[in-house]
Amino acid sequence: MKTGRLEAFSDGVLAIIITIMVLEMKVPQGTDMYALLPVLPVFLTYLGSFIYLGIYWNNHHHLLQATNKVNGSILWANLNLLFWLSLFPFVTGWMGENHFQQNPVALYGIVLLLAAIAYKILSHYVIKSEGRESVIGKVLQNNKKEYVSMALYASGVVLAFVEPIISVAIYIFMAIYWIIPDRRIEKELK
């Protein structure tokens, strides 16, 4: 099967996830600017999650652009990734509504970690299908960035029980780290 259906399905799921996240934000009571202060943590968490979903969407797009065909393993690995991404509205709301307390920050990090692992699994099955000598096989042979990310997400989870703001700083740093699409794939596709 070609990648088009998988891309369209994934795009639709991500659009729904983003829509659910924004619908979870409640309109404040009051009309002055001070009425926005109580919802600021929710908005900031939404902004971070929106950026993360954008990063996944962008890198997912690049990954599939370098993929010639999909098989059952790739389909299931993609569903695994979408499952973890679908939890973003829940953990985003919980962390924002509770003003970055320990447990919500830790759970947010767990979802980030498991989404990163799921993306790594998806990449593995794409490489397995395409072959190590394929464009994607050659491009993704250096996994240092992915492993650093997983280690920092895991650190963020642990540090949430010490000082949640350090974990939030790690999550922000990781978003900045990944915000530029994987140029290795872009270079090979030109």
What is the DSSP code string of 12-51? HHHHHHHHHHHHHSPPPSSSSGGGGGGGHHHHHHHHHHHH
Task: Tell me: pLDDT of 151 over 90.
Answer: yes
How many CA within 13 A on the CB side of residue 152? 19
Instruction: Please state the domain extents for the chain.
Output: 4-189
What's the mean pLDDT in 28-55? Answer: 91
Q: How confident is the model at residue 124 (pLDDT cuts 50, 70, 90)?
A: very high
Give the list of residues 6+ apart from residue 132 with CB closer than 8 angstroms, or none.
Answer: 138, 141
Query: 13-17, 40-44, 107-111, 132-136: which has the minimum mean pLDDT?
Result: 132-136
> Regarding predicted confidence, which is higher, 65 or 89?
89
For residue 62, the model assigns a pLDDT of 87
Q: Dig out the tokens for 107 from the structure.
A: 């759970």
pLDDT band of 182, cuts 50, 70, 90: low
Q: Which one, of 118, 110, 145, lies nearest residue 56 by Cα?
A: 118
Question: The tokens of 111 are what?
Answer: 């979802």
pLDDT given at position 189 = 66
